[in-house]
């Protein structure tokens, strides 16, 4: 076996879990992820590593093992496929593929931290391995998309490329391919997580030059020669999210398709990767429903902050944007008129309040708004509460708060995020 190419652990994991194109009737089925994890549990109990199964002592221990729902003869037969392994590894190496196992030091740490035992036992890849740890923005979406959604995706990938933010996607037709090709055209870096046809895709002329330049890495947890399989496409989604710092769903159907399933899984199980959705122009029902599941609104392309630092803007939106605030944008809060009169003044009263008794309008609307903001912030409030109090759009209010913070008139706290008037500064100004 090509021991100089692969560690003993990775050789053992390949023998247990990989397919080498053999006849399914005469050869045992490779282990599924849950079955391999059962073997790992047994190895840990016996203070062994996967590579230990390749020597005579390890095989002898295995014969007397009691591994949950696994036939020891099946495991033994899988480990005897050394000749097929050497042929496959030689072929894959000649095609430019590399292989890393879950026990290798260069295996993605993000998988181990975020997926734990759901991490794939084996990864096949083409391109620079260091892109696996670079993080970035995962961009996903449906296969059937409009030209407007393609254009939007290209605008996002252009920003990513210019700000040295890696794009991570799945390589499927539609948004996935648009995001990958868009970033590559702008000389950005891309990590593609494929569900099928790794070798075929790596040889595609659309990607060959970018792989050679070190700007594109393609990986797959599945057989490099495997064709499309719905189960693999669904299972691949969690790997895309796990390798990212943030994720953007450009368009999703509601309660159907891989995009919906992947985003919902990420929201429920991969808590430290914020999921954003596109909310500009037409908003698909799937996007709207994902917001109710906990997704955030992606900053608008018109935001000046977006062009300056996408990462900072995403972090700000992640901390402050909630589903309820998004609802306010499309559906302003309707309250009883008497309740509105009893509550603090809101910005709908601004024109009469500011201009009555002959007082001239301020040159800047911010100057007129500031007294209302400071009055509301006599006690600390989060953004949602302040939006409700002042009856304005969250995005506009955030711009005013940022300016007030820069001028020292408002303080911002973290964990939790709250705003409060800087009493000392405002007294000095008065």
For 48-97, write each residue's pLDDT tens digit: 999 999 999 988 888 888 887 888 899 999 999 999 999 999 999 999 99
Determine the distance from the C-alpha atom of residue 100 to the mean position of all C-alpha atoms in its chain, rounded to a whole number. 22
Cβ proximity of 290 and 263 under 8 Å = yes
- Please give the full DSSP string across 262-282, using - where no structure is assigned: HHHHHHHH-TTS-EEE--SSS
Residues 86 and 162 in one domain: no
pLDDT tops 50 at residue 370: yes
Q: Give domain status of residue 29, yes or no.
A: yes
Which CATH number do you get for residue 376?
Answer: 1.10.10.10
Residues 258 and 372 in one domain: no
Q: Give domain status of residue 218, yes or no.
A: yes
Residues 28 and 141 in one domain: no
Q: Give domain status of residue 109, yes or no.
A: no
Instruction: Give per-residue pLDDT as tens, 114-173.
Output: 999 999 999 999 999 999 999 999 999 999 999 999 999 999 999 999 999 999 999 999
Which CATH number do you get for residue 198?
Answer: 3.40.50.450
Closest CA to 42 of 64, 57, 17: 64
Residues 148 and 234 in one domain: yes
Instruction: Give per-residue pLDDT as tens, 333-343.
Output: 333 334 333 44
The parent domain of residue 196 ranges over 129-321
CB atoms within 10 A of CB 102: 21
Closest CA to 234 of 140, 111, 309: 140
Taking the C-alpha atoms of residue 42 and residue 32, their distance in angstroms, rounded to an integer, is: 16
Residues 220 and 156 in one domain: yes
Residues 304 and 354 in one domain: no
Tell me which residue has tokens 């000095």.
428
Residues 87 and 148 in one domain: no
Under 8 Å CB-to-CB from 298, ≥6 apart: which residues? 248, 276, 277, 278, 279, 314, 317
Q: Which of 279, 299, 321 is the last residue of a domain?
A: 321
Q: Which of 44, 77, 94 is the last residue of a domain?
A: 94
For the chain, the average pLDDT equals 85
Residues 317 and 382 in one domain: no
Residues 183 and 253 in one domain: yes
Confidence of residue 22 (pLDDT cuts 50, 70, 90): low
Residues 299 and 168 in one domain: yes
Residues 317 and 254 in one domain: yes
Instruction: Give per-residue pLDDT as tens, 378-400.
Output: 778 888 888 878 877 787 888 88
Q: Give domain status of residue 60, yes or no.
A: yes
Number of domains in the chain: 3
Residues 160 and 254 in one domain: yes
DSSP E strand stretches across 279-319: 296-297
Provide the phi-psi class of 332: left if phi over 0, else alpha when psi is between -120 and 50, else beta. Answer: beta
pLDDT at res. 374: 86
pTM across the whole model:
0.74
pLDDT tops 70 at residue 25: no
Q: Give domain status of residue 150, yes or no.
A: yes
Q: Give domain status of residue 235, yes or no.
A: yes
Structure-token pair, residue 224: 């490099």
The torsion angle over the Cα atoms of residues 119, 125, 128 and 133, rounded to 10 degrees, is: -10
pLDDT tops 50 at residue 350: no
């Amino acid at each position: 076996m090509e021991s100089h190419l692969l560690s003993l652990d990775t050789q053992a994991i390949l023998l247990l879990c990989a397919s080498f194109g053999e006849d399914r009737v005469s050869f045992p089925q490779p282990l599924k992820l849950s079955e391999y994890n059962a073997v790992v549990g047994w190895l840990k109990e016996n203070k062994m590593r996967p590579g230990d199964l390749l020597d005579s002592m390890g095989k002898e221990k295995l014969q007397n093992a009691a591994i949950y729902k696994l036939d020891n003869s099946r495991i033994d037969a899988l480990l005897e496929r050394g000749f097929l392994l050497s042929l496959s590894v030689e072929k894959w190496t000649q095609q430019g593929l590399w292989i890393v196992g879950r026990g290798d030091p260069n295996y993605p740490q993000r998988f181990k931290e975020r997926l734990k035992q759901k991490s794939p036992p084996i990864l096949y890849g083409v391109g620079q391995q260091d892109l696996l740890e670079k993080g970035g923005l995962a961009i996903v979406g449906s296969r059937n998309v409009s030209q407007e959604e393609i254009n939007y995706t290209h605008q996002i990938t252009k920003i990513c490329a210019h700000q040295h933010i890696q794009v991570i996607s799945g390589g499927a037709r539609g948004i996935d391919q648009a995001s990958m090709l868009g970033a590559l055209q702008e000389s950005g870096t891309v990590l593609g997580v494929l569900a099928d046809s790794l070798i075929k895709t790596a040889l595609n002329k659309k990607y060959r030059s970018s792989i050679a330049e070190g700007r594109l890495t393609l990986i797959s947890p599945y057989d490099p020669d495997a064709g499309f399989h719905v189960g693999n496409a669904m299972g691949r989604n969690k790997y895309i999210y796990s390798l990212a710092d943030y994720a953007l769903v450009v368009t999703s159907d509601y309660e159907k398709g891989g995009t919906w399933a992947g985003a919902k899984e990420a929201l429920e199980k991969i808590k430290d990767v914020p999921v954003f959705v596109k909310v500009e122009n037409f908003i698909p029902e799937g996007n709207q429903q994902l917001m109710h599941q906990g997704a955030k609104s992606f900053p608008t392309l018109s935001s000046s902050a977006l062009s300056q630092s996408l990462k900072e803007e995403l972090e700000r939106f992640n901390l402050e944007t909630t589903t309820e605030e998004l609802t306010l944008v499309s559906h302003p809060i309707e309250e009883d008129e008497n309740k509105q009169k009893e509550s603090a003044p809101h910005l709908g009263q601004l024109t009469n309040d500011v201009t009555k008794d002959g007082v001239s309008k301020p040159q800047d609307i911010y100057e007129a708004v500031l007294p209302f903001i400071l009055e509301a912030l006599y006690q600390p409030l989060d953004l949602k509460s302040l939006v409700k109090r002042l009856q304005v759009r969250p995005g506009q209010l955030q711009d005013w708060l940022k300016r007030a913070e820069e001028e020292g008139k408002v303080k911002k706290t973290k964990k939790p995020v709250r705003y409060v008037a800087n009493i000392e500064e405002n007294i000095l100004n008065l």
